[in-house]
Amino acid sequence: MGEWSRFCSRISLCNRNCGLGTFLSIVLTPKIKARMKPFLFSVLLLSAMTAQAQTVTMPDGTTRPLGDMNGDGEVNISDVTALVNKILGKTPSPVPVLSCPDDHHPHLIDLGLPSGTLWSCCNVGASTPEGYGGYYAWGETQTKDVYNWSTYKWGSDWNKLTKYNTKSGYGSVVDNKTTLESADDAATANWGTPWRMPTDEDFEELLSHTTSTWTAKNGVNGGEFKGDNGGILFLPAAGITNDGVVYEENSYCNYWSSSLNDDFPPYAYCLYFNKSDHHAYRTNGYYRYTWRSVRPVHKN
């Protein structure tokens, strides 16, 4: 029996045994019932879900408590929220998880970060956490065949920038924009709000509140970031693409932030990690026309 069917049968069983529905229909006025309906519905669901300790086996072989919709190892009110949305036919609210509970990516990985920022489990253009996804020039939202200054959207050379520029020596337009706007953000443009590319500050927070190690997932090398809460994020090593050719695949993580290097605006900040490093690290980046991977974050 599927997990969803188990829920339905347990809710039905609870309602029969306690007779709560009959009691409420006699005692409460229609107005009060209407006001209490969401609350009572949640109580009924939670009662059904926690009535007895059972576990279910997930497709990946792991087990979790019956009713643990968000895979956090607990059955609580946040699981009710997910269930209510599903029953009402609404687009389910994204539910944070510590690791991917199923194959319906992308998931929101909760690493216990102070800002509350959640990280996507996979790259833009990827359908699995270990998938490389697309390679994007900084400030562009589509992949393309040729990546160089002549095809770059926001400038034809390092000193001919047309957007995101802080100094006159790098282009005639000095707009002092230092963070990508939503329309130029590969995560927002492809996935919608509130997905966005991480800022350099997001990378800093990730590195300072997780432990990073070089590892492999389903045969793909990459960096793993583990939060104090047990949340785990994997970034595949999709390689370097400075000169139009992807190389060092499977040995080099190379991710764009949405933050311009305002000291040298032809550059934007990046996150790097390779198999010879002991930890991931931030850098002052590289030329914006080059290709990099994009791992979205999710923050309202």
Q: Which residues bind Zn ion (CB under 5 A)?
A: 100, 105, 107, 121
Q: How far is the CB of 99 from Zn ion (least distance, A)?
A: 8
Q: How far is the CB of 97 from Zn ion (least distance, A)?
A: 8
Q: How far is the CB of 105 from Zn ion (least distance, A)?
A: 4
Nearest to Zn ion of 106, 171 (CB atom)? 106
Cα(169)–Cα(95) distance, rounded to whole angstroms?
46
Nearest to Zn ion of 225, 291 (CB atom)? 225
Nearest to Zn ion of 121, 126 (CB atom)? 121
Q: How far is the CB of 100 from Zn ion (least distance, A)?
A: 3
Peptide bond into 106 cis (omega under 30): yes
Nearest to Zn ion of 134, 139 (CB atom)? 134
Cα(246)–Cα(212) distance, rounded to whole angstroms?
24
Please count the residues of the chain: 300
Q: How far is the CB of 117 from Zn ion (least distance, A)?
A: 17
Partners of 65 in beta bridges: 55
- What sign for the dihedral angle of Cα 283, 260, 199, 221? negative
Nearest to Zn ion of 119, 138 (CB atom)? 119
Find out whether 67 and 75 touch, Cβ atoms under 8 Å.
yes
Give the residue from 141, 299, 280, 279 showing the smallest Cα distance to 270: 280
Q: How far is the CB of 185 from Zn ion (least distance, A)?
A: 21
Q: How far is the CB of 216 from Zn ion (least distance, A)?
A: 17
Single-letter amino acid code for the residue at 65: P
Cα(154)–Cα(146) distance, rounded to whole angstroms?
15
Find out whether 78 and 93 touch, Cβ atoms under 8 Å.
no
Nearest to Zn ion of 100, 137 (CB atom)? 100
Nearest to Zn ion of 100, 113 (CB atom)? 100
Give the strand pairing for 195-196 and 210-217: unpaired
Tokens of residue 251, six digits: 């040995």
